[in-house]
Structure 1
């Protein structure tokens, strides 16, 4: 799935009349991008995990940052909380229901720059077949040429939401009603 979607994203950018030197493919093959989560466990500790399989593209032009756009597709079955039995439960219909909803997506709908390379990113986030328009702060980590002559750009941000907003009503106690998603993405300019 990973290579197919990356190839499709690159082909779509190349064929697009909007394709420019400001288009990036998120570097998941080089493991320079992460989507992680954090949720309280019964009020006693934090449960941390990640999604191992995802991909996407973004466009960012320093001279017109308000035109930035992002598309990310997450393979929900790739959830990894470092515990096989728990991961199987998280894939079940109690949580992600990966049999019916194998992907989660984020498609940006707008960006309000803050003047420092970051800003507020808005977009449609879909999980378990439920879509909500969300907004969250992202910060630019850096941009420039790597040792191999490629241009890279990286951002990070996090978003907290209620599980119930996406149809997840499994009772984990009042401390675990919200989950924080953290993303760190590094893109390679196309």
Structure 2
């Protein structure tokens, strides 16, 4: 009986001191997307995405404030569904991918806002410039998958001025900021 009590106590103690789970972003299964949109002359939206990126995150449902995220983006993988425009966007006027082929995001904080929403802060490095950004995040959900794994999913948005990252190509007054739309599903590792 004494052994059973010690076992139960140790199990309970282990459950209350659990650490955050580590997740690998599922880019191979096409369950994660980094997209952007910017106004075109103020008349419509131009959408694009980055097809090649990788990253991981740490998340503890009982202590979400301890969450962290790291992402590396191959900006040469930009796709706006128009080859000539993509060539221009990869050039010196915009992303200058020949000199800066990679963008990174490293989180510095995660502040829960209630109802699965949070403010994710971090450092975005794009075109060789590092600036703080805040991403409005919503936890979509988590649970077991059909293959015996465990997944966690989030969506988020942020926007920033192009000039903040050294992009000063004049697209007109309606096109000074870009919005990023992020959808991430992670597989617990």
Q: Shared topology, TM-score over 0.5?
A: yes
For structure 1, the residue ranges without an aligned partner over 5 or more in a row are: 1-19
Report SS of the residue matched to 2:114.
coil
Q: Which residue of 2 aligns with 1:113?
A: 112
Give the CA RMSD over aligned residues: 1.0
Report SS of the residue matched to 1:114.
strand
Equivalent pair of 2:20/2:67 in contact (CA under 8 Å)? no
Determine the C-alpha separation between the residues in 1 that align with 2:174 and 2:114: 36
Q: Which residue of 2 aligns with 1:93?
A: 92
Q: Give the TM-score normalised by the residue count of structure 2.
A: 0.88
Structure 1 residue 114: deviation in Å?
2.1
Cα 1:181/1:162, change in 2 over 3 Å: same
Q: Which residue of 1 aligns with 2:164?
A: 165
Determine the C-alpha separation between the residues in 2 that align with 1:146 and 1:100: 40
Equivalent pair of 1:62/1:117 in contact (CA under 8 Å)? no
Determine the C-alpha separation between the residues in 1 that align with 2:114 and 2:174: 36
For structure 2, the residue ranges without an aligned partner over 5 or more in a row are: 1-18
How many residues are paired up?
A: 171
Structure 1 residue 21: deviation in Å?
6.4
Q: Deviations over 1:104-159 (max 9, x none)?
A: 11000011112333311010011101111111210001100011111000001110
Residues 1:36 and 2:35 aligned together: yes
Give the alignment of 1:1-190 within 5 angstroms. Answer: 22-190=21-189
Runs of 4+ in structure 1 off by over 6 angstroms are none
Determine the C-alpha separation between the residues in 1 that align with 2:120 and 2:164: 19
